[in-house]
Every structure is written in C-alpha cells, then in structure tokens.
Amino acid sequence: GIQVEQSPPDLILQEGANSTLRCNFSDSVNNLQWFHQNPWGQLINLFYIPSGTKQNGRLSATTVATERYSLLYISSSQTTDSGVYFCAVGSGTYKYIFGTGTRLKVLA
C-alpha cells in the first residue's frame, strides 16, 4: 500500500516565524488533504489539494503529484497554530492513508 511520510516530526517556532511542512507519498494519488488536529482531537480541514497550489490567509499548500510530494507553508505563525498537522492521501475510492504527522509548537 501507499506509504506517507511527513517531515519534520517535531517543530518548535517562535511566534512570527515561518515554516514549511512536507508530505511525501510513495505512489500516485487522486486525493490529498492537510489537516490540523487541535489538542481536543478535532481534525480541522486546511486544504483539499490533490494537485496545484492553494492559499488561505497565512497558510498555503502546494502538491506536485508527478513528484509525489506536498508542502504546507505557515507564515507569521501564532500560538494558536500549535498542534499536529497531518497529511492524508487516497488512491482508491474509499480510504485515506494518514502520515505520522508533524507536531508543531509555537512559543509566545
């Protein structure tokens, strides 16, 4: 099955700093999402981005499907950005494979 690797596993930033999170996947996919999991466990949709580039405020994402990776950019980080960021990919019609996540901590 598809393998999904995320890097870095842990990241500590000072408030206001920028960061790039990476998701590599081992096979072609037709679905890809980025999620932020808050401390209460809720998975919050950030981007649905099987290919191309999208931006939403301080966040943006790029997926290069032919090279099997996706990047999530966080600019001007805030303490509320802390949490775990997951990339999830799907190649069939019914399931997502999640990466192991990047645990982000933003310090005030």
The residue type at 78? Q
Using the minimum distance from each CB to another protein, give the nearer residue, 14 or 93.
93
Q: Which residue has the tokens 């995320």?
A: 6
Q: Which residue has the tokens 């019914």?
A: 94
Between the alpha carbon of residue 81 and those of residues 59, 73, 87, 104, the distances in Å are 10, 12, 16, 8
Using the minimum distance from each CB to another protein, give the nearer residue, 38 or 76.
38
Residue from 7, 24, 31, 60 touching another protein (CB under 8 A): that is 31
14 Cβ contact list (under 8 Å, min separation 6): 106, 107
Q: Which of residues 46-75 bind another protein (CB under 8 A)?
A: 48
Q: Taking the complex as a whole, how short is the minimal distance between the CB of residue 88 and another protein, in angstroms?
A: 8
Q: Applying CB under 8 A, does 102 fall inside the site for another protein?
A: no
Sole window of 10-18, 27-35, 52-60, 64-72 interacting with another protein (rule: CB under 8 A): 27-35
